[in-house]
Structure 1
């Protein structure tokens, strides 16, 4: 009978676990709260909306609030009145409705939002309205709704109609392009063709304040009221939407109701915070002060592009990550302390922290965890063993029975327990000082004794198919443990670095894919029985680096593997073909919240796990879409000069025609060199983990490439040189998705002394200076040259003087030499001439002697011979070779006189040539007669004939003519 009860217990447990679903409460969504001190505005936030660029706008008591993902900006009206409603049009204009005014914001020339009042275009007493409560865009018309009138404008800002309701409305709603008015005296009305008409169910809502209208189908409207609950209009009939919760809705005082992208309904209340309802009006979740949010009053609701739900409180603003697969189970759910282990059994969830063990029935509406008695202090594990719930605690081993913990063994520091396959009746327990043995019984577990032979702290253990227990020690290595035959002691075999492991530290063992996998300091390992050593595991090698260090694993019923490593956290989602799909990006938001003492992942059921966190646990639902790919941009929020009073260059926005854009239209931004230090501020309006956005920047023409990733949202550059610059910035959100690159172009003008005009002036001045320098140096050179020339001239004069002296001396010597030579020549010539004279004289004397002999001789024969000798003498006296020698020496002495004379007077006879030479020698007539062998009279006759041939005048002296020739 007891065995049947045991089987029934297990079946019921499995059945109840299978019924666990996301609709059952585990924890609260992640949220971020902004107080009025954070956004520097008033306490009340009446409306929230978002632009296409991702910026958030809030109608606040102090004006219009803007959130760019990093900073809040406030734009107050000149009158200082409250802003009641805000609408961002497709062209980027921001329309507001406020106390005593309405209009729109557009950027000025610097990009700062400035208010343009449309209410001021209203003439007469209509302008003096009290509250503009709502603004709507109906097709191409703008509707500004006050408590007195409805003003209708066209897109150009021209008033085209004014509608005056018979009774003052207290709220307005635009549903499917139809404007609904709530008039307390008349009920629900509509604006149709410029007239106010009561609806067919209008009377039902007399004396009620309608707070919201939603279209839930083509023929159904969901209508919420402030104090009367929620109704559904179907055709012409009205009914309560959810009878069970109607009183809750009445007492909560509903301020706003919206439909979420998931199809669920979000309700913001005055007294009870936020309700999330399904399509049947059933409450799926309630967030209230201290239970998921910081304020119980929710005045406004808005679901942003990323699926976050923004709440405008009576004092503050909250962002709730409804679309996240994570929920936080922490002290707001009644669970204090750091999470360590969890167990879901039937509808009861047990959570162990360093403060104790807590439990909760997740099927009930009670959202608070309760503490198990006698379980205070550090809890290490919570397990279902046999038909018992066993808690491993710092003070010992406990069995949990309902809301109470009963000690089973007073052995300090119970880490974990293992059902032994080889011994089905036994359970082995690891503790601070070794191992203990427990026995299963009908009453539960019973402590037997501590096992001998092993005293190491045994926190992580798994049993293999052969019944060996593998225990991994945090800093000593791995132990293979086997029970002795008498089950009183254990035998151990140590495995460390010498057995194939990379080191003896940071080793853990996990059961994955029904195999034992050992994580180490560098990668995953398996035990090889044949080699009796550890070898690298190929399991999961396609998804991780071979040296990845893991700290925690868990596998759910579907085979999905959840992991935490040093570098990343995520899930390997198992597909039908046995492969895995790795998801890590969505887990980045857990990087700073997980328990870093003893990492743990507890599987609750298929697709649902709990990560042990620094504060409680993080519940992860793998069935919820993990990440929505959303394109987002980086925007420039301010560009300013650092060293200037009037420092703002731009606030980022510009008008592109009639449209507001954050893209840089004016790219001719020129900054004087005196203001060459610039500060650029930027932000990425990505609202999921917005404070974890990281940025990379790069100033082209100043830096080589992008910087490292950083959370800083501004960058300063100082002392930039002149030139054209382009600043690039991109963002990476918490999920690792990159934004598009935003660029900002600007030019640093050169200083006046490096402008083109300056360079032209420099060139001109340089040219003049060059000329002046040239002239200076030219003048200096000339002077120096003149000095040098003068010095050289003096030197030359000196040298010339010396040279002349030398030349004179040389000339003198030469002349002396020539004179000597001439003297010698003349001497030779004279000698030759005297020789000729003497010879001829001698011959003439011989001739005279012979003539005397001839005259005296009687012998005819002798006379004949003497006559013949005399004849030969006469014949040859002038043909002597001495003339040739004479002429040579004569020309050398007298400058080739004979040659020149013969050339100029070729008709002279040889006798006349000789006469000329003798006259040149200034010989006397007698001497010439001897030389020519003629008489003195013959010389006179020869001189006469020579004068005639020279064609001299009578007055011309022949000898002077020849001497001068």
Structure 2
């Protein structure tokens, strides 16, 4: 634990303690400061209250602040003004007052505080302003909101007005009475709607009253701003001439509070606070020097556990008054403490900076520890031996008297001194070079001699009437002295205590006997058997204790031990049994001086523990205050789209409902534990998700993502800094399934499945019918296809026959064409012959013929000529060829539009496979002319030399 506090001085060792839970008069309590950067509010805090769940509320310049032990929450006023005062009623409503506004906060269904204005019920004469509300009181069923000019009385949802005779200053409730200070009338008591002036109080008109407190014998203590403290007995006012009054006059008072019924906290402007008893004696003074962050204390508040909260001009401070621990630290000029002792009315403390002392018999609330003259430097130990004070110092063995070192016995650095058994006038001290012997003479302790035979630095050691035992480098050395104490006669080394117990933990003296410890097993040494044997009774004491590293028995018989940098104690009972107690000292974990366990048990009420940054004072009788279990809360429960704040007094919900789309939940935990917040730990378990409780942790938030649908219970418990666990607290919630996994959805799925089965069954039946129909149709189709195929095949066969017949006919036609051509050629030949006969007949001279012969000749010539002229074979052939080859000629003309009729005749002749001679005869040209015509036809048809003319013509056909 890091100590934040600064410390006051010890008072008297034998001052009585009235009861458990009182204000300690020795040391300074632990102090925790909260800056505005932590609580995210304004600097000034004017008032403090606590609700029934332990949450704290602060009237802050930026609004209402709430602190649950884990997190701060700010609730601003509707007109964004400061809050000057607040008060919480039994129903949990938080009444607040500020500038031109007053009302109350109460939680809505989700736990967030909502503001409800009461000031709107006031009938104002425009533009009248309400001004600042400074005080709120609950009195006879009504709520009083007090400003300087007016007090507004809220009851039954109506507001009445109580005007000030002149001007109100402040108001107070004391002994079930309500008092007002008026600047002209003095103190007045409110009764039945009237203000009754109190006798003898106009004396206070020229000052401000900031506090009124109930005192014994029906008296009232009045705290003024600048005139001091007064006692009022309903008749007269007299100054309260006490130590507290001197402080108030010097530093100005801003009121205060009553703590633990017997003590009064007084706030000041200039110097923090004081706590005084009913006689005005100052018990504690806590200011900026001693730990609080600001010396101007605007308000003080005592919470439900009798701890003190301060609202400062800049920040908030918590003071752990209800604790068995108080501290002396840097404010007392103490640093690392190695040892302490009380001698002749002074407390001496050995530190790394020197030996310091402070009076143990007087109260010094302002003083610090003083350095013993001549001891600057490392002081390792301070001891009282035979009535003399010896300091084991880095500079030597020093004798101390009062506030100075008056004699140096030896200049070598020393660690510790012990008296030698059976040699009452001799002392042995361990130093940086071994051991030395000191002798008590008439004029006190004197250095006698250095012990030879061992030259090494020795810290702790133990000795009995036969041997000196030291632990060094994880070994035990047993040494015996010569009779003249000048030399080590024997030195024996042990690596282990037994064959089964390896290693050596520590050496210590318990119950006036030397014990050797390893792994929490304790051994003694038998000189008769020259071996170690286990003391099972002591071992059993440490059976359930973690492995210890250092032990020490105090003057009361308690056994203190260190484990894992933490401290514990076996407290000795009256019946000589022991009770283990480690949890209260967890606050000191990490702050103990390594390998230097400094315990100074003056008595059960005054136990001093050395720390790395000062000295702790522990009163074991006050520990019973912490037997009560703390309380754990699930403070917030949030998921996307919704958030609940728990513990603000709203109605609880049996089970929260979370939609599946928001199955990412977040929890925060809190506990109204304000002592040693850094050591408060939480453990949680989400039933339905976590199999085990989580490890203890300072973390107060937990988030779960992608939770499956189902019922969950979040359980949490808390452990305070004293190791006491709370009972479990839990909230239940249900993550609803997505719509497609909802119970209604499953019913729909069932109906849908049944519908699907019915539909499938229906479809199968329809398909069977359809298949039968299709099968019939298919058979019919196949039959028709087969029939069609047969018809097609028959048709194709007929076509083939027709084709064959056409081909046969074509062949026949071609044959006929050929025959016709041949016949035509014969006719042509005949005509040629006849033409030749005609020409020859023309050459015959008919003059010699007689008339009859001549007539016969002429008749013959005419007959032949007629035969030739009437022969139409050629024209018939030409017409026949055009009819037979019409399609060919048409395609040829379409493909080659520029072809001439004579070339078309040539193509027809070529197609008919006529010879060149035949073509020449038909076309009445020479064979050379046929070849020329063939060449021209090839050109006209765009044929190259390699292409066959007849083949091309056949392709067109």
With the shorter chain as reference, the TM-score category is 0.7 to 0.9
d(CA) in 1 for partners of 2:566 and 2:363?
35
Residue 729 to residue 387, structure 1, CA distance change in 2 (3 Å): closer
Paired residues of 2:504 and 2:517 also in contact (CA < 8 A)? no
**What does 1:275-674 correspond to in 2, within 5 Å?**
275-336=274-335, 338-362=336-360, 363-365=362-364, 366-405=366-405, 408=408, 412-464=412-464, 466-473=465-472, 475-485=474-484, 487-499=486-498, 502-510=501-509, 512-540=510-538, 543-545=541-543, 548-566=546-564, 569-641=567-639, 644=640, 647-653=641-647, 660-661=649-650, 665-674=652-661
Structure 1 residue 316, shift from structure 2 partner: 0.9
> Which residue of the partner structure matches residue 28 of structure 1?
28
Q: 1:513 and 1:235, CA in 2 relative to 1: closer, same or farther beyond 3 A?
A: farther
Deviation at 1:756, TM superposition (A): 3.0
Summarize deviations over 1:286-309 as a string: whole Å, max 9, x none: 111121322211111111122211
What residue number does 1:268 align with? Answer: 267
1:856 matched to which residue of 2? none
1:788-937 pair list within 5 angstroms: none
Residue 413 of structure 1, CA deviation:
4.1
Q: Are the structure 2 counterparts of residues 737 and 488 from structure 1 closer, same or farther at C-alpha, using a change threshold of 3 Å?
A: closer
- Count of matched residue pairs: 760
CA contact (8 A) 1:551 1:599 kept: no
In the alignment, the residues of structure 2 paired with residue 668 and residue 498 of structure 1 have an alpha-carbon distance, to the nearest angstrom, of 62
Deviations 1:150-202 (A, max 9, x none): 22222x4332x322121211111011221111123222111111111111232
Which consecutive unaligned segments of at least 5 residues does structure 1 have?
1-15, 655-659, 791-965
Q: CA deviation at 1:243?
A: 3.8
8 Å CA contact retained: 2:436, 2:449: yes
TM-aligned CA distance change 1:563 to 1:223, over 3 Å: farther
Structure 1, 742-751 or 121-130: larger mean CA deviation: 121-130
* In 1: Cα distance, 2:555 partner to 2:12 partner: 11
The SS at the match of 1:459 is: coil
Deviation per CA, 1:445-475, whole angstroms, max 9, x where unpaired?
33233211223442222333x3533333362
Change (3 A) 1:138 1:630: farther
Deviation at 1:787, TM superposition (A): 12
Note the alpha carbon deviations across 1:59-97, whole angstroms, 9 max, x for none: 111111111001111111121211111111111111112
For the 8 Å contact 1:46–1:60, the answer to whether it is kept is yes
TM-score normalized by structure 1?
0.74
Distance 1:703 1:34 in 2: 35
Range with greater deviation from structure 2 (348-357 or 326-335): 348-357
The residue aligned with 1:936 is none
Q: How does 1:639-718 map to 2 (within 5 A)?
A: 639-641=637-639, 644=640, 647-653=641-647, 660-661=649-650, 665-718=652-705
SS in 2 for 1:425: strand
Distance 1:509 1:720, change over 3 A: same
Cα deviations by residue, 1:357-379 (Å, 9 ceiling, x for unpaired)? 22222425243112234433332
Contact kept, 8 Å, 1:98 with 1:131, in 2: the verdict is yes
Distance in 2 (alpha carbons) for counterparts of 1:704 and 1:257: 51
Distance 2:699 2:445 in 1: 57
Classify 1:548/1:749 alpha carbon distance in 2 versus 1 (closer, same or farther; 3 Å). closer
Q: SS at the partner of 2:287? A: strand
Q: CA deviation at 1:212?
A: 1.0
How far apart, CA to CA, are the structure 1 residues paired with 2:131 and 2:586? 49
Shift in CA distance, 18/618, structure 1 to aligned 2, threshold 3 Å: closer
SS in 2 for 1:81: coil
1:58 aligns with 2:51: no
Q: Mark the CA change 1:693 to 1:347 in structure 2 (over 3 Å): closer, same or farther.
A: same
Does residue 82 of structure 1 match 2:69?
no
Q: Which residue of 2 aligns with 1:94?
A: 94
Q: CA-to-partner distance for each residue in 1:360-409, whole Å, 9 max, x for gaps?
A: 22425243112234433332211123343222233433333444446736
Secondary structure of the equivalent of 1:596? Answer: coil
Change (3 A) 1:128 1:546: closer
Question: Does the Cα contact within 8 Å between 2:566 and 2:592 map onto a contact in 1?
Answer: no
Q: TM-score, normalised by structure 2?
A: 0.74
Quote the Cα distance in structure 2 between the aligned partners of 1:565 and 1:259: 40
- Within 2, Cα distance between the matches of 1:193 and 1:26? 47
Off by >6 Å, runs of 4+ in structure 1:
20-25, 778-790
| CA-CA distance at 1:500 after TM superposition | 7.0
Instruction: Provide the C-alpha distance between the structure 2 equivalents of 1:731 and 1:18, rounded to a whole number of angstroms.
Output: 36
**Matches of 1:93 and 1:129 in 2, distance apart?**
22
Q: Distance in 1 between matches of 2:237 and 2:149?
A: 28
Aligned to 1:449, the other structure's residue is in SS state: strand
Change in Cα spacing, 1:307 to 1:364, as seen in structure 2 (3 Å) is closer
Match of 1:900 in 2: none
Distance, in Å, in 2 between the alignment partners of 1:447 and 1:781 is 123
Conserved 8 A contact 1:560-1:571: yes
Q: Aligned to 1:720, which of 692, 707, 716? A: 707
The structure-2 alpha-carbon separation of the partners of 1:167 and 1:546, relative to structure 1 and needing over 3 Å to count, comes to: closer
**Counterpart in the other structure of 2:909:** none
User: Distance between the aligned counterparts of 1:228 and 1:302, measured in 2?
Assistant: 23
Select 2:753's aligned residue among 746, 766, 773. 766
Tell me the secondary structure at the aligned position of residue 321 of structure 2. coil
CA contact (8 A) 2:416 2:429 kept: yes
RMSD: 3.0
Distance 2:482 2:140 in 1: 81
d(CA) in 2 for partners of 1:780 and 1:528?
A: 104
Structure 1 residue 282: Cα displacement: 0.7
Structure-2 change in CA distance of 1:787 and 1:120 (3 Å): closer
Q: CA deviation at 1:229?
A: 1.2
| 1:143/1:787 CA distance change after superposition, 3 Å | closer
Higher mean alpha-carbon deviation, 22-31 vs 667-676, is at 22-31
Q: CA–CA distance in 2 between the matches of 1:767 and 1:733?
A: 60
- The answer to whether the 8 A contact 1:17-1:347 is kept is no
Cα deviation code 1:609-634 (max 9, x no counterpart)? 22221212212122334433335432
More displaced stretch, 405-414 vs 28-37: 405-414
The CA distance in 2 between the partners of 1:586 and 1:486, in whole Å, is 45
Quote the residue 1:203 is aligned against: 202
Cα 1:291/1:649, change in 2 over 3 Å: closer
